[in-house]
Amino acid sequence: MRRLPIPDDVTGFEIDADVRQDLKSLPKTLADDVARNLVMVARLLDSEPEEAYNYSRVALRLASRVASVREAAGFASYMTQRYAEALTEFRAAKRMTGRADLWPVMADCERGLGRPERALAMAGEPEVKQLDKAGQVEMRLVAAGARADLEQFDAAVVTLQSPELASSAIHPWTARLRYAYADALIAAGRADEAREWFVKAVEADSDGSTNASERLAEIDGVEFTDALDEDAEDEAVESEEPARKPIAKDEIGDDRMIFEDEEDVEEFYDDDDLEIDEDYDENSSEEQPKKA
């Protein structure tokens, strides 16, 4: 089995206490190895999901009967859009633990597999009642997305209308809920109302979890210019290949010289003894012989 590099500073103590408890069913050396791979999954999941996926597969081969490992593998697969794999892992984790907290992401996997009808069916299952408030909001987001997949845009708007949406309290999921509602209003052709909800999403989005501010600017017709992009354009202009200079080519031989312009060429040679090679590139790697 291929082993992936793990930094020296990675320790099992970085993982959640519940995961450490899960790993106690393994021999200590094996548990430590699995824990270190799970830490790498957690570290890389958002920034380098493909690498996180690779580490999750190592952990899965080492301890496939541990629920936390199956769950981590599920999220790594989900983040890399391997929805069939993710659904398999989430189902296994749910079967091992009996918990329903993975139900919304399982439904979203059904959407990813092009089965929005199944996602909607899952939104009506008893497992939803077992979810906490955050999980129920997540389920609403998935169900609204499934409605949008089916081009049922008005129904998507209605799905998101809830006490959580109407509340002025700010929770970790508030910005995403308001953003999704604004996006659903746009799809339903209600742009004026959507603007109001994008504003509310911006107010709740202290950690930048959505691009609500960009969507709001788009509605208002505001364009942003990235200063870094301007600098890059200036550098590109400066680094453009210099204009080619005319080359004097002796018809009798192959000797070539570079001149600043055609007047210099004519002064150096007699007009009857040369032709102008406009296509020769002075930046060519071919070495230019000097005039004898």
pLDDT, tens digit (0-9, with 9 covering 90-100), for 186-245: 999 999 899 999 999 999 999 889 999 999 898 888 765 655 555 655 565 555 555 444
Q: pLDDT tens across 245-266, in order? A: 444 444 434 444 444 555 554 5
Q: What is the pLDDT of residues 60-105, one digit of tens each?
A: 999 999 999 999 999 999 999 999 999 999 999 999 999 999 999 9
Q: What is the mean pLDDT of residues 148-166?
A: 97
Name the 3-class secondary structure at 244.
Answer: coil
- How far is it, in rounded angstroms, from Cα 266 to Cα 96? 88
Tokens at residue 247, please?
């080359």
Place of tokens 């953003």: 179
Cβ-based burial of 209 (10 A; exposed 0-12, middle 13-18, buried ≥19): middle
pTM for the structure as a whole: 0.72
Closest C-alpha among 208, 149, 154 to residue 176? 208
Question: Distance between CA atoms of 145 and 21, rounded to whole angstroms?
Answer: 35
Question: Residue 3 pLDDT > 60, yes or no?
Answer: no
Instruction: State yes or no: pLDDT of 291 exceeds 50.
Output: no
Position 274 pLDDT exceeds 90: no
Query: Which tokens sit at 225?
Result: 């210019």
Token output for 75: 């999220």
Give phi and psi for 210, each to the nearest 5: -130, 170
CA 266 to chain centroid: 60
| Single-letter residue type at 290 | K
> Encoding tokens for residue 14?
């970085």
Architecture label for domain 1-99? Alpha Horseshoe (1.25)
Domain with CATH 1.25.40 in the chain: 1-99
Higher pLDDT, 141 or 4: 141
Run of H or E including 97: helix 83-97
Crossing angle between the packed helical segments 103-112 and 133-149, to the nearest 10 degrees? 10
The sign of the dihedral angle between the CA atoms of 57, 62, 67, 72 is negative
